[in-house]
Amino acid sequence: MKKLLFGFLVSLMIQPIWAQDSESLDLEKALQLGLENNFQVKIAVETINLRQGEIGVGWSAFLPVVDAIYTRNFSNEDVTQTFVSDPETPREILGAKSRSENFTLAAIYGFRPEAIVAIKRLGQLAEISELDAKVAVENTVAAISTAYYRLVLELQRYEVLERTLELSKARLDIAQAQYELGGAGKRDFLTAEVDYNTDLSLLKNQSQIIEAARINLNELMALEPGAEFIVNDTITVSDELRLVDLEENALMENKQWLITQRQENVAFLQLRELQASRLPAINLNANYANNTFNSDAGFLIQNQRAGFNYGGNISFNLFSGFSLNRRIQNVRVQQKIQEYTVDQFEIQLKSDLYRAFNTYQNNRELLEIEQRNYAVAKESSEIALERFRLGIASYLEFRDAQVNLLTAENRLITSIYNIKEQEIELLRLSGKIFFENSFQTWTPPGSDQ
């Protein structure tokens, strides 16, 4: 996409002490590190795998359960037997042995109509988990982009303060020279020294702000807080975005909006699943058995059986204490709630989009004002410095021009950052942030999309 570089952009060619001999980091690399390391993204991806596994469990309802059982038993007993044919003469067998061996292969298959709807519901939940993963990625991309440009902004402010300090040093040198030559009072020299120390303190505090911004970026990339890198970049703003395009794309690509719609489908399928449980269930069974029994005592010395048996039944619930009716009624209520949620989210999405776009548009208009203001402040500062060198301007006049330049420069680069920040938010809301950051081909693992 063609980029517009609005007016004043400060190139960050400095290498602060904390970034010397460190690796260079641009936005694309920061995003790659974030998507590889960010734990929210990893959790979302693992949730996809979990949902895919649940679908596999759901499909198992359409398969039979097959069990194989093998048993073998032994006994050694003293047996006394009395027969009807000779009741007066009992028969004693000491240490009579018996053994049995059984092998059974059993298969059970049950078909419930609600299982078909359950598979569809699990499929919707899997889609939701994939969209959740994309939401996590989009949020990570937006957060890293914003944090990255915040660091760029703070480094630009550091440069502004450096140039301000250079002007304060020049003013201090002039005031010192005038004081030593008797051309100015000591008060002017001391005031110049106080202002120089103030600007030096501001520069020191800005170093702390930069360090905090760098730590925040490291956290989003799941790096150690002390990880060091060099940022050589500027803040560029894309071509002006159009609200009509953003709104149209948001209603098709905003992942959270798509999740809300899928959740409405899940509520609908939950209702159908409960209604399907009223239908008859079919249960089939079959088994193969091979049993062998041997005994040293009794009339039956050996008994062996082998063969199949099978059967089935159809079950139909006639009464369940009205619990099914109550569950269906609750799901109907849940479905209605989900319909309201979809309508509510649509309004919220459009409102967020309009709010962000109004801020974005206002910041673009403010940028033109800040550009003109900076040009005037810069020219005024140059004139004040020259007049101060010539001794025809007071230190207060020069200091006012210097403060005005600092303020104008800070407001200008902040205005550029604000536009970029709102641009990132608009792209996130419209579901276009993948495309703007070259991640349009990212697909969660395990997804068929």
* One-character DSSP codes across 188-216: HHHHHHHHHHHHHHHHHHHHHHHHHHHHH
Mean pLDDT, the chain, rounded, equals: 82
Residue 440 phi, psi dihedral angles, 5° rounding: -65, -15
What CATH number does the domain located at 16-74+100-436 have? 1.20.1600.10
CA distance 426 to 87: 102
- CB neighbours of residue 101 within 10 Å: 15
The set of residues, in sequence order, having a beta carbon less than 8 Å from that of 206 and lying 6+ positions away, is 154, 157, 158, 161
pTM: 0.76
Q: Residue 258 in contact with residue 27, Cβ under 8 Å?
A: no
φ, ψ for residue 106, nearest 5 deg:
-120, 140
pLDDT in tens, 31-53: 888 888 888 888 888 888 888 88
Pseudo-torsion of CA 7, 13, 18, 21, nearest 10°?
Answer: 150
* Candidate from 86-90, 134-138, 257-261, 413-417 with smallest mean pLDDT: 86-90
Q: How far apart are CA 223 and CA 140, in angstroms?
A: 14
Alpha-carbon distance of 116 to 136, in angstroms, equals: 31
Residues 402 and 224 sit within 8 Å (Cβ to Cβ): no
Q: For residue range 409-425, list pLDDT tens digits in order.
A: 899 999 999 999 999 99
Helix (H) or strand (E) holding 222: none
More confident residue, 300 or 355: 355
Tens of pLDDT along 169-200?
Answer: 887 887 788 777 776 667 777 888 888 899 89
Render pLDDT for 341-398 as a digit per residue (tens, 0 to 9): 999 999 999 999 999 999 999 999 999 899 999 999 888 888 887 887 777 777 778 7
